[in-house]
Amino acid sequence: MLHVSLLGEQAIIDETGVRTRSPRTVALVAFLAVHAGVAQARQRIAGLFWPDSTEAQALTNLRRELHHLRQVLGRGPSLVVTSRDLCWRDTGACQVDVRVFGVEREAALAAAAAGDGGGVVEHAAKAVAQYKGELLPGSYDDWLLEARSELQRQCVDMCDLLCATLAQAGELNEAVDAARRRIRLEPLEEVGYRVLMELQADLGDRAGAVSTYHHCASVLERELGVVPDPATRQVFQRLMVQPEGPAGVGAPSAVGRPGLVEARLVGRSRELGRLEELWRTVTAGRPGFALVRGGAGVGKTRLVSEIAQAARRQGAVVASSQCFGSSGRLALAPVADWVRDPAVQSVAATLEEAWRAEVDRLVPAAGHGQRGSGTRAMVDAWQRHRFFEGLARALIAVDRPMLLVLDNLQWCDQETLDFVTFFLGLASRAPIMVAGTLRDDDLDEGRELVDWTVRMRATGLLTELSLSPLEKADTRCLAEAISGRPFTEDDVGLLQATTGGFPLYVVEAVRGSADPGGGPVWAGELASVLRGRLERASASAREVAGLAAAVKTDFTLDLLTEASDLDAGVVVEAVDELWRRRIVREFGDGYDFSHDLLRETAYAQISPPKRWLLHRRVAQSLELLHADDTDAVSARLAEQYARGGRPGRAVAYYRRAAEVAAGLFAHAEAIRLHGEALAIVRGLPEGRGRDGQELAILEAMAAPLNASYGYSSPELQGALERWVALAKSLGRDDSLLAGLVGLWASRFVQGRTVDGYETADRALSLVDPGSETGGPAHFTVGGSAMNLGRPAEALHHLNLAARFGSRVSLSIGSRPDVHGTAWAAHAHWLLGHDDEALAGCEGAITLARAVEHPYNLAVALAYGAVTHQMRHDLTELRKVVAELHELCDRYDFAYYREWGLVLDGWSRPDGTGVGLARQGIGNLRSQGAFARMPYWLSLLADLLARDGRPEAARATLDAALAAGHARDDLWWLPEVMRMRAAHDDGEPAVSRLRAAARMAASQGAVALLRRCERDLAEKGVRPEANDGRTLRERRGP
C-alpha cells in the first residue's frame, strides 16, 4: 500500500521506503486530495501551479509532473486521468493522510450529532492523530494557503470536540492531552489555555494550571505585546484563591506584570542586519553558524531571539536549547532538544529503520530505542559517525528553513560541538542555521571550545558577532520602554554611568525601581541591584528562589513542590510571584531564571549548611519524580548528591551517567563523569572497599580514554598502570588480565617493545593453556614477538589468538581472529611462506567483511596493505589502500589512516608520494605512536631515493636504524640495513649486507635473507659460511 504524507511533511512512501519527495509531485497529489471526488480541469491546475508560464508551457509542465506521478503511483485507481481533467478517488491501495483526516472528522461530527460519545472519541482521536503538522509545510502557493488554514481550523475544532467529550465522560487526563494539542495548534487563542487550566484544576493540579497561565501570558506578551484578556485572568484568579489553605495562602494573586512589558530590540541594528543577511544566505541553501559573543548581560540572547522570531514568522522551524553552568545535563542534551521539536519528530518517524534507531538512541520514541551499554558502545566507537549521521538526517529531513538556537555555548559539552561541526558539513546545501551565544568575560574558554572555534573558522561556515554595551541614547530607549515613562537627561546620564550600558543591568535596575519599595533606577552595582530585586520579594518567594537556584538548571513546579518543605500552595504562589517580578521566566515545560546572573545571586544568598540540605532534597525529589528512568537525570542526581554530602550515591550516579554518555559515544563526557567519581572515591578512607571502587571506575574509564586520546596517550597509560596495580593488590586475576592486555597495547604503540613483551608475558601467565579466554593474551605475546624479530614465535601465538578470538577483545577494540590472522600474514611472509601470507591477508579481510564491523575491516585492510607492500604487489596495494582511505575518512579512524597515507605514498610512481608519507609519519609521531617506525621510515627513504634525493634517503635510513635499536623494534631492521648498504660503496656496503643477512638469519626471516643474498650476488660476493648458519640451524637438516 502507498502512503501519501502531506501533513507535517511531504512524501509518498511504500513498504520499501520513500518513493518520492518531489515538491511539485507531492503538491499535485495534495491539490487533488483536497478536492477529492471533484474533477479538476487541467487548465486550472496548470494556471495555479505555473502562474508565470504561458498556458502552453504550463500544460507541458503539468504533463511532465503527471507522468512522474503515475510512475510513482503505479497502476492504482486512485488517480483518474482524462484528456481534460484529473480527479482523486479514495481507494484501499493508496492512503492519503489528508483524506483519512477528512473521513474521520466527518465520522466524528456524525457521531456527535447522534449523541454517540464513544464514536466521537474514537473518530476525533484518529483525525487528530493524522494531523501531524500543517499542510505541505514550507510551501506558500496561493491555492495552498486557504486549504492549509481550513485544515488547521478543522483540527482545532476536532480537539475542542474531543476535549469536551472526554471531559464530560470523566476522562480528564485524556482531555488534558487534547487541550494541549489545541494550544500547540493555536498558541495565540486564549480559550485553549482557559480550558486546560480548568481541567488541570479539576484534576487537582494547581501547579500545572498556574504554569499554563504563565505560558499563556508569556506567549501573548512575546508575540503580541498584550496581557491575557479578563476572562483568562479571572480563571487564574479563581485558581489562586484557596480559602481552606494554610496561613498566607488564599489571597488572589495579581495576574499582570504592570509597566514591565518586554521592550523592542534597541541599539542592535547593525548586528541584527548581519544576522538577517546571514539568514537570507542560509535560506538560499548555504548553511552557517552565527556566534554572538559578549559579556554577561550585554544582550546576546535577546539579539538571537529577535532573528528567531523573524524566522518563525517566515515559516521556518525554530528549535532552541540552552546550556547550563551546572554539569547536570546529559551529553548532547542540546541536540536532543532540537530533535524533540515536533517538526523534526514528524519526519524522523519516516526515516529508514536503521536511521530511526540512531535517533532513538538519543531520544527514544514510545516503545522504541534504549540506552545501550556503555562498554559495548565504546567497543563499537566507530558507530559514532553513524549515530551522528542518523541525528543529522532527522534534522535535514525537515526540508524547510531551520534555525537551531544554542544559548550559553561556553558551557556546551564537547560532543554537541563535535556534532554541530559534523552536521553542518553534512548539510552542505540545506537551509539550516545554528545561532549560538558565547559569554566571553571573566570566563576562560576551555581548550576544546577554542579548538572548535578554530576548526569552524576554517570551514568558512562561522560568522562571529561581538556585542558591546549600549550607547546612552539606546539606554534611554530601553529604560523608557521597560518602565513606560520618560526619563530626564540627568536620570539617563546617571543610569548610563551606573550600568555601563549593559542591557541586563538597565532592565533589572528599572524593574527594581518599579518594585514596591524599590529605589532609584541608578542605585548600586549590578550585584546589589539583583540582590535588591530578590530581597523585595516575599519570604516564601525568596526561599523558593534559593531552592530553584540549587537545582542549577531549569526546573519544574513539580520538582520545587516535592523538594520544598513549604506547602505546595505556598510554593505555587511563590513561583507565581517570582514570575510576575520577572525573576523567573517560563521555559519549556517548566521555568528558569531570567538570567544566569539572577540564579548566581539567589544561590549566593543561601548559607553553606542550607545549600547542603537543599541539594539533598533536590536529589531525593529527582529520584521520586523520575523513578521509572533515573538514567535521564543521572548526571543531575550525581551532582546534587555530591553537593549534598552523599558521596556513595554521588559515585553511583556519576558512574551510571558515564555509562549513559558512553552509550551515546560521548567520550569526553564519559571521561569527565568518571573523573568526578574518581575524585570522590580517592578522597575516601583507604581500604579494599575504596580500591575496589577505584578499580571499577578505571576499568570503565579506559575505553573512552582510548577513544578520545589513543593507545599511546599518557592519560590512558596512567589509568591502565593504576588499574593493573589495583587488580594485583586485590587478587582480581580476571581484571588483571584485561588491564595487562590494555597496558600492552599502550606500550606497544608507544614503541616500548621490550616493556610490551614483558607485559604480554605477564598476561599469558594468567590463563590456562588452551583456554578460550587466552585469545587476547596470545595476541599480545604474538604482536610483541613479531616486532622483536621472532616471526616463528609470533606466528604460533597469533594463530592461537585467531583460534580463540571469535569474540571482540574489549581493550584492543578488534576481534583477535581478524587482527591475529592479518598480523600472522606478516610472520608468514617473513618466514618465506608467501602463499600462506597472501591467504591470511585475504582471509582476514573476508572475515572482517562478514562480521560487518568497520573497525575490524580497517584493521584487516591496513595489515593487508602492509602484506601487499612487502610482496611488492602494487595493484593489490593500491586497491586496498583506496578502500582503507575511504573507511578511515568515513569513520575517523586516525591510527590506521596514517598507515594508509604512508603506503599510498610509497605506491605512487611520481614525486607526490613523499609528501603523503611524511604526513603519515608525522601524524603517527604526534600521536606518540612509534611502533613499526623503522618500517615506515624505510618506505619514506625508498621514495626519497626514487625522487633523486640520496642524501635525504641515507639520513632517513640512519634514523630508522637508530629508532629500531633504541626501541628494540627489530623485525624490519635487516631490510633497513640492506637498503642502507645501497648508499655505501665497496667493502662498507658488503659488510653492511652481510650484517643484515646475519640478522635476518638469526630472526628466521627467510624473505629478508633472500633479499640480502640477492644483493650480495649482484655485487659478485658469495655469502660467508656463517651468514645463514642460524637460519639453517632453525630449519634443521
- Choose the final residue of a domain: 939, 971, 1003: 971
Evaluated on CA atoms 24, 30, 33, 34, the torsion sign reads negative
The CATH number of whichever domain residue 949 belongs to comes to 1.25.40.10
Q: Do 421 and 514 share a domain, yes or no?
A: no
Q: Do 456 and 353 share a domain, yes or no?
A: yes
Q: Is the pLDDT of residue 1037 over 50?
A: no
44 domain-assigned? yes
> How does residue 1028 score in pLDDT terms, banded at 50, 70 and 90?
low
> How does residue 804 score in pLDDT terms, banded at 50, 70 and 90?
confident
Distance CA 661, CA 671 (A): 9
Q: Do 93 and 130 share a domain, yes or no?
A: yes
Picking from 527, 435, 467, the residue whose alpha carbon sits closest to that of residue 266 is 467
636 domain-assigned? no
| C-beta of residue 80 within 8 angstroms of C-beta of residue 87 | yes
> How does residue 248 score in pLDDT terms, banded at 50, 70 and 90?
very low
673 domain-assigned? no
Q: Do 440 and 495 share a domain, yes or no?
A: no
Q: Is the pLDDT of residue 919 over 50?
A: yes
514: domain range?
473-478+483-531
Picking from 452, 377, 390, 450, the residue whose alpha carbon sits closest to that of residue 417 is 452
948 domain-assigned? yes
| C-beta of residue 891 within 8 angstroms of C-beta of residue 385 | yes
Q: Do 352 and 437 share a domain, yes or no?
A: yes
| Share of residues in the chain with pLDDT > 90 (%) | 73
Q: Is the pLDDT of residue 640 over 90?
A: yes
Q: Do 276 and 413 share a domain, yes or no?
A: yes
Picking from 241, 248, 257, 310, the residue whose alpha carbon sits closest to that of residue 279 is 310
Q: Is the pLDDT of residue 909 over 60?
A: yes
Which contacts qualify for 1030-1036: CB closer than 8 Å, 24 or more apart?
1030/998, 1030/1001, 1030/1002, 1030/1004, 1031/1000, 1031/1001, 1031/1002, 1031/1004, 1031/1006, 1032/1001, 1034/792, 1034/1004
7: DSSP letter:
B
211 or 1033, higher pLDDT:
211
Instruction: Please name the residues in contact with 798: beta carbons below 8 A apart, sequence gap of 6 or more.
Output: 778, 779, 782, 783, 786, 820, 821, 823, 824, 827
Question: Rounded to the nearest 5°, which phi and psi values hold at 20?
Answer: -160, 150
| C-beta of residue 816 within 8 angstroms of C-beta of residue 804 | yes
pLDDT tens-digit readout, 65-118: 999 999 999 888 899 999 999 999 999 889 999 999 999 999 999 999 999 999
990 domain-assigned? no
Average pLDDT, the chain: 90
Q: Mean pLDDT, to the nearest integer, of 292-318?
A: 93
Q: Do 49 and 77 share a domain, yes or no?
A: yes
Q: Do 65 and 109 share a domain, yes or no?
A: yes
Q: Do 387 and 440 share a domain, yes or no?
A: yes
pLDDT tens-digit readout, 847-894: 999 988 899 999 999 999 999 999 999 999 999 999 999 999 888 888
Q: Mean pLDDT, to the nearest integer, of 156-169?
A: 97
> How does residue 910 score in pLDDT terms, banded at 50, 70 and 90?
confident
Q: Mean pLDDT, to the nearest integer, of 175-200?
A: 96
Interior CA angle at 61 toward 55 and 66, to 5°?
125
pLDDT for the residue numbered 538? 94
For strand 2-5 and strand 79-81, is the pairing parallel, antiparallel, or unpaired?
A: unpaired
pLDDT for the residue numbered 251? 47
489 or 810, higher pLDDT:
489
> How does residue 38 score in pLDDT terms, banded at 50, 70 and 90?
very high
Q: What's the Cα-to-Cα distance from 675 to each of 530, 658, 810, 952, rounded to whole Å?
A: 35, 10, 21, 46
- Choose the final residue of a domain: 172, 190, 209: 172
238 domain-assigned? no
Q: Mean pLDDT, to the nearest integer, of 833-856?
A: 94
Distance CA 808, CA 830 (A): 27
pLDDT tens-digit readout, 442-500: 555 578 888 999 999 999 999 999 999 999 999 999 988 888 889 889 888 988 988 89
What element of type H or E holds 291? strand 288-294
25 or 1036, higher pLDDT:
25
pLDDT tens-digit readout, 559-615: 999 999 999 999 999 999 999 998 999 988 899 998 889 999 999 999 999 999 999
Question: Rounded to the nearest 5°, which phi and psi values hold at 352?
Answer: -60, 150
| C-beta of residue 653 within 8 angstroms of C-beta of residue 328 | no
Q: Mean pLDDT, to the nearest integer, of 521-550?
A: 87
Question: Rounded to the nearest 5°, which phi and psi values hold at 88?
Answer: -105, 135
190 domain-assigned? no
Indicate the number of domains in the chain: 4
Helix, coil or strand: residue 37: coil
> How does residue 139 score in pLDDT terms, banded at 50, 70 and 90?
confident
Q: Do 101 and 46 share a domain, yes or no?
A: yes
Strands (E), 432-578: 432-439, 462-466
Q: What is the DSSP string of 932-964?
A: THHHHHHHHHHHHHHTT-HHHHHHHHHHHHHHH
Q: Do 497 and 454 share a domain, yes or no?
A: no
The CATH number of whichever domain residue 277 belongs to comes to 3.40.50.300
Instruction: Provide the H-helix boundaries in 831-853.
Output: 834-851
Distance CA 275, CA 433 (A): 10
Q: Is the pLDDT of residue 523 over 70?
A: no
Q: Is the pLDDT of residue 259 over 70?
A: no
Q: Which of 208-212, 537-541, 786-790, 801-805 has the lowest mean pLDDT?
A: 801-805
Which grid coordinates are listed for 259?
A: 509597566
1: DSSP letter:
-
Residue type, 952: A
Q: Is the pLDDT of residue 357 over 60?
A: yes
- Choose the final residue of a domain: 123, 150, 172: 172
Evaluated on CA atoms 916, 920, 926, 931, the torsion sign reads negative
1017 domain-assigned? no
Length of the chain: 1037
Half-sphere exposure of 568 (CA within 13 A, CB side): 13
Distance CA 483, CA 486 (A): 8
> How does residue 367 score in pLDDT terms, banded at 50, 70 and 90?
very low
Q: Mean pLDDT, to the nearest integer, of 660-683?
A: 94
Q: Is the pLDDT of residue 247 over 90?
A: no
Q: Do 369 and 516 share a domain, yes or no?
A: no
Q: Is the pLDDT of residue 993 over 70?
A: yes
pTM score, whole prediction: 0.84
pLDDT for the residue numbered 365? 74
